[in-house]
Amino acid sequence: MENSLFDLKGRTALVTGGGAGLGRKIAEVFAEYGADVAVCSRKVENCQETAESLQKEYGIKSKAYECNVGSEENVKKTVEAVIADFGKVDILVNNSGATWGENAESMPLEAWEKVMKVNVTGTFLMSKAVGNHMIENGYGKIINIGSVAGLKAEPPEVLNAIGYSTSKAAVHHFTRDLARKWAGYGLYVNAIAPGFFETKMTKHVIEQNADKIINKNPLKKLGDPRSLQGAALFLAGGASDYVTGQVIAVDGGASL
């Protein structure tokens, strides 16, 4: 695996929302391929359990941090702490996310603003803080987690969360625009747009609509964690050194 397209030895990754769900799966594959991994979220207990598990299973360095990605002050302190502990950040995964299910005509403003603050503002703040460090180093890989919901409009009976869908579309364009702005610094910015994977956030939707989602999917299945890990590993390592500004749908063809 050494010197392979996917080897991450000597790299340090920071994964937001890394204590559970897809964030944890991404943290795990980075550790599996040799990276040291910092994980952060508002619920630091989940991150602590993840960090301990990664260290034990893969023998890499891992540490947990509490971070509210919607707070610039909190983000700055977290990034400074990670750099102090690990020496650098080579890979950033903006995975922290929020959603709110509600009809568009009755969605409360505070719900809309909460989703935007975490999904869009949080992605910007973390990218800015880590990006400045990466620019100084002349290298960095930023991976934003979008969603197939930001690529197509789902019927309300499948997904009724207009704030979430809009925020993920914003993340996709943020990815493309930032990639263009930072390419000259040696930074790569890409996004993954997952389809329906079984996570805490999607549990209710899948429980209510699993058959409908699967039947409409060209591959006739829900997402499996290994597929998402493969996309993240590709974007984090040398295999993607000529790829930037892309939104890769990992959705079984649902966005076609």
CA angle in degrees (0–180, nearest 5) for 211-156-215: 20
- What DSSP assignment string belongs to 171-238? HHHHHHHHHHHHGGGTEEEEEEEE--B--TTTHHHHHHHHHHHHHHSTT-S-B-HHHHHHHHHHHHSG
Give per-residue burial for 139-165: e unless 16+ CB within 10 Å, then b: ebbbbbbbbbbbbbebeeeebbbbbbb
* Under-70 pLDDT residues of the chain: 1-3, 200-202
Just list the catalytic residues.
164
Q: Quote the pLDDT of residue 3.
A: 61
Could you tell me the two tokens for 58? 């893969």
Q: Quote the pLDDT of residue 223.
A: 87
Q: Which CATH class is domain 12-246?
A: alpha beta
Lookup result for tokens 């591959």? 219
- Between the alpha carbon of residue 80 and those of residues 65, 76, 86, 118, the distances in Å are 11, 6, 10, 20
Coil, helix or strand at residue 101: coil
* 29, 54 Cβ separation under 8 angstroms: no
Q: Quote the pLDDT of residue 155.
A: 87
Strand partners, 15: 39, 93
CA distance 34 to 154: 38
Residue pLDDT, tens place only, 212-245: 889 889 999 998 899 999 999 999 999 999 999 9
Domain edges within the chain: 12-246
Lookup result for tokens 């260290």? 55
pTM for this predicted structure: 0.95
Give the distance, in angstroms, between the CA of residue 228 and the centroid of all CA atoms in the same chain: 10
Could you tell me the two tokens for 161? 């969360």
Q: Quote the pLDDT of residue 215.
A: 87
CA distance 111 to 129: 26
CA distance 165 to 242: 29
Closest-CA residue to 122 (of 105, 98, 104)? 98
Give the distance, in angstroms, between the CA of residue 196 and the centroid of all CA atoms in the same chain: 15
CB atoms within 10 A of CB 2: 6
